[in-house]
Amino acid sequence: MNRIPETLLGPRHWWPVAIIALCLLASGGQKPQGASAAISQDTLAALGKDSGNTGGLTPSARQGWEPSEDLVRLCDREAARWRARLGKGCSTVARPPFVLAGDLARDDLDVWHETTVRPAAEILWARYARIRPHEPVVILLFASENRYRTEAKRLFADRNVSVYGYYKPSRRCIVLNLARGGGTLVHELTHALVDFDFPDVPDWFSEGLASLHEECRIVPEEARIEGLVNWRLAALQTALQQDRLRPVRALVTSGDFLAGDVGLNYAHARYVCLFLQKRGALTRFYHAFRDRRAIDPPGASTLLAATGSRSWEELESEFRDWVAQLQ
Ligand SMILES: [Zn+2]
């Protein structure tokens, strides 16, 4: 059992607000869709499977987990590679399935692993990701914005990156500017771990779940990670008041999450996930959505069933009332 005490992550200045800079265009003031949708018995059955006496925890979380010899070897090799690439003044530690590296002392890398990476990862595996990494996840931590930007450019030719950090799926690598704190680390860690378990997760849920963890409360003893209300609420409530918040159903089914008013889309998806969390349905929804992806690609009917609402009209009305009273 993890001994890390209950932790709060994500004070305001830690959050990855760069995406908000893209928040320029209104989404067109669409009205909620009125059509009701029948919830199939298959959907209800899929949701029910995860709601037994396991509390939604995955089998791997209940049985414990040890990295394979192959994974340990791969992590050692990756650590040696990053030691050579980063050079003087940098350190690396292999903590399978993670390899942490950057311009910090080894002890400081271990503190990041023990206080943030490991507790958050254990809970993400317990709550969501059934499949654990079979290859190393590299986490590059840089103490200053200048070093972070310099290395992003030198190592990956990445320019104009978020001031906070980012995840590179093709390299299974998180790059982080520690001068902005640790909230972004849990956001990017969520992407990196979900990547192994739910590789074709749609953008709306990938970013909704990751954004939920930008500001969160972690209770390792209870395998609990809870998203909290954060700064993204303001954009959502403003859009609601100005009658330009599109329906939840459109957010989920339109496939245009990364177009148009991206900042509002992030806020919308984050609060749909928080809405599910408040109803005690987020873990079950994740499992049912992942397992039914082939028959419900955007997760719409699975979402409606998970909320317990009887129709899209009812869901929309309940979601909007809930958002309006949040503080
Ligand atoms: Zn993200």
- Asked if residue 222 is part of any domain, the answer here is no
The predicted model gives 22-30 an average pLDDT of: 22
φ, ψ of residue 58 in degrees (nearest 5): -80, 160
Judgement on whether residues 274 and 303 belong to the same structural domain of the protein: yes
pLDDT at 327: 94
Structure tokens at 275: 């809405």
CA 146 to chain centroid? 26
Residues 86 and 30 in one domain: no
What is the SS3 assignment for 209? helix
Average pLDDT over residues 10-18: 32
| Residue 16 CB neighbour total at 10 angstroms | 22
- What average pLDDT score do residues 59-87 get? 86
CA–centroid distance, 259 to ligand 1, in Å, is: 14
pLDDT of residue 45: 52
Compute the distance between CA of residue 298 and CA of residue 302 in angstroms, rounded to an integer. 9
Q: CA-based Rg of the chain, rounded to a whole angstrom?
A: 20
pLDDT band for 52, please (50, 70, 90 cuts): very low
Residue 231 is predicted with a pLDDT of: 93
Would residue 210 count as lying in a domain? yes
Which residue range is the domain that position 143 belongs to? 62-127+130-197
Q: Are residues 243 and 297 in the same domain?
A: yes
State the Cα–Cα distance between residues 57 and 50, nearest whole angstrom: 8
Q: 116 and 166 in one domain?
A: yes
Domain count, the chain: 2
Q: Cα–Cα–Cα angle for 183, 84, 178, nearest 5°?
A: 15
Q: How close is the Cα of 211 to the center of ligand 1, in Å? A: 6
Under 8 Å between Cβ of 174 and 196: no
Report the range of poorest mean pLDDT among 35-39, 75-79, 93-97, 239-243.
Answer: 35-39
Same domain membership, residue 240 and residue 165: no
134 CA → ligand 1 middle, Å: 22
pLDDT value of residue 222: 83
Looking at the structure, tell me whether residues 141 and 251 fall in a common domain: no
- Does one domain contain both 263 and 288? yes
| Claim to verify: residue 74 and residue 50 sit in the same structural domain | no
212 alpha carbon – ligand 1 mean position (Å): 10
pLDDT band of 87, cuts 50, 70, 90: confident
Residue 287 is assigned to a structural domain of this protein: yes
CA neighbor of 273 nearest in space, from 251, 240, 295, 294: 251
At 183 the pLDDT is 79
Q: Which residue has the tokens 């909620």?
A: 32
pLDDT band at 23; cut points 50, 70, 90: very low
pLDDT of residue 130: 87
Considering the domain architecture, whether residues 205 and 310 belong to the same structural domain is answered as yes
Helix, strand or coil, per DSSP, at residue 140: strand
Residue 123: other Cβ atoms inside 10 A: 24
Q: What is the pLDDT of residues 261-317, one digit of tens each?
A: 999 999 999 999 999 999 999 999 999 999 999 999 999 999 999 999 999 999 999
| Residue 53: predicted pLDDT | 30
Say if residue 190 is in the same domain as residue 304: no
The Cα 226–Cα 4 span in angstroms is 16
The alpha carbon of 162 and the centre of ligand 1 are apart by a number of angstroms equal to 11
pLDDT higher at 182 or 274: 274
Which of 38-47, 100-109, 262-271 is predicted least confidently?
38-47
Closest CA to 136 of 212, 82, 91, 210: 82
In the chain, what is the straight-line distance between the N-terminal and C-terminal CA atoms, in Å?
Answer: 34
Lowest mean pLDDT among 19-28, 73-82, 290-299, 307-316: 19-28
Single-letter amino acid, residue 85: R
Q: Is residue 221 part of a domain?
A: no
130 C-alpha vs ligand 1 centroid, how far in Å? 20
Q: What is the pLDDT of residue 64?
A: 67
Residue 202 CA to ligand 1 centre (angstroms): 12
Rounded Cα distance between 21 and 326, Å, is: 24
CA of 294 to the centre of ligand 1 (A): 23
Q: How far is CA 264 from CA 15, 123, 160, 247, 278, in A?
A: 15, 28, 21, 12, 21
Q: Residue 205 falls within a domain, yes or no?
A: yes
Residue from 255, 251, 131, 272 nearest 195 by CA:
131
- Residue 179 counted as domain residue: yes
| Ligand 1 centroid, distance to 305 Cα (angstroms) | 25
Q: How far is the CA of 4 from the centre of ligand 1 (A)?
A: 25
79/88 Cα distance (integer angstroms): 14
Asked if residue 236 has pLDDT above 50, the reply is: yes
Residues 317, 209 within the same domain: yes
- Please tell me the number of Cα atoms within 13 Å of 311 on its side-chain side: 8
Q: How many angstroms is it from 169 CA to the middle of ligand 1?
A: 11
Q: What are phi and psi of 278, to 5 degrees?
A: -60, -30
Same domain? For 53 and 91 the reply is: no
- Helix extents (H) in 87-179: 106-112, 118-127, 145-156
Q: Identify the CATH number of the domain in which residue 109 sits.
A: 3.40.30
- Residue 2 in any domain: the answer is no
Taking a C-beta distance cutoff of 8 angstroms, is the pair 132, 60 a contact?
yes
The answer to whether the beta carbons of residues 188 and 167 sit under 8 Å apart is: yes
